[in-house]
Amino acid sequence: MKPLADLRIIALEQYGAGPFGSVQLADLGAQVIKIEDPETGGDIGRYVPPFQAGEDSLFFETFNRNKSSIDLDLTTAGGRAVFEDLVRVSDAVYSNLRGDVPAKLRLTYADLAHLNARIVCCPLTGYGVTGPRASEPGYDYLLQGIAGWMDLTGEPSGPPAKSGLSLVDYSAGLVAAIAILAGVHAARRDGAGMDCDVSLFDTAMSMLTYPAIWSLNGDFAPQRTRHSAHPSLVPFQAFETSDAWIVVGCPKEKFWQRLTVAIGLPELGEDERFATFADRRRNAEALMPLLEAAFAGRTAREWLDVLGGAGVPCAPVNSVAAALRDEQTAARGLVVETEHPRFGTVRQLRGPVRVGSEQPGYRRAPGRGEDREAIVRSLLGYDQARIDELEQGGAFGSAGVRAHRHELLP
């Protein structure tokens, strides 16, 4: 049995942040039931280019493998009734919507506790469900700006820059997964569920970590650093070799001593200007040209061999393609495959959570509404008369939208 095989989550999720959190739980065996709005075509991630056609996209595949999908219009009486029946047999209701929407859609513990006293309600919002920005839409790019990340990223002489990945989205998804697991644990222990309140803003602010603490408790003003240098450890940054970039770091004094010998400049290890972390930081302008000149004299591969052999922390600055080809990627089995009716064999990255010795299995992301019959018949026990009634009431979407969906499918 997979670690989370006894966990069922109803997910009103879209795009990347919410689905990234729940896919970690799905990979570990949780049953994640995506509720998709038939009136809007479901999760917007289905339509993200490139590699997109109809209601299928590789973006959607990335975040939604191992999940189930049901079309449900929560604005109809029937759709709400199906949702409430799902609440009765589930552990958590998870959403990533604007901060004021969970209350409007009646997704809070106060709204659902009468159906299931142990239900955990976990909204992942842009700015949280309280505060002056609660009703504002939140996206990773915006949060990297408002939380100070972009001010810290990029070259000192260049414009502010965002991370190459949506790190606020993905980090917040992981935080939400932790919140769900903590909430369900407490609900099973105490017999009562609760509301969680996870946001991109809180996550991004908390990840400012020590630069924020230095700023709050001293006169430290975080600055962008040349060549992605660490704000206090010198050297710890990217260096340009004769043919490519590498990253070299000395997070311990022993590494500094090893580095000076490895690059053929042992005298730097005896130089009082560079004796300690503080000394090297204070005299970085004198030290960096010496190191940069040394690294420019050989290729990246040569330096990685020399430094690795000397026990100095180092790594290549890979392209994405090169990272996927790295021998460690293969050794860790990080590339997995699923079969898709439109895309054929889809190669994906496995989740980072490893629990126990059993290897997780992977199945493709669901088509919109694909699992309706299994959910309403097997899980909820509806008979055909009840299903017909719900169909007629628009619980699963209007006939026009369903017809449009069939036009999009192969």
Give yes or no for a contact between 29 and 7, defined as CB atoms under 8 angstroms apart: yes
**Residue 344: which H helix or E strand, with range?**
strand 344-349
Q: State how far the alpha carbon of 143 is from the alpha carbons of 125, 146, 185, 309, in Å.
A: 11, 5, 30, 41
**CA atoms of 167 and 208, how far apart (whole Å):** 12
Q: Which residues are catalytic?
A: 169
In terms of Cα–Cα distance, which of 83, 87, 54 is closest to 71? 83
**The token pair that represents 3 in the structure block:** 């670690």
**CA atoms of 129 and 121, how far apart (whole Å):** 12
- The long-range contacts involving 143-152, CB below 8 angstroms and separated by at least 24 positions, are 143/168, 143/200, 143/201, 143/204, 144/168, 144/204, 146/201, 146/204, 147/201, 147/204, 147/205, 147/207, 147/208, 148/208, 148/222, 149/204, 149/208, 151/222, 151/224, 152/211, 152/222, 152/223, 152/224
CB atoms within 10 A of CB 289: 10
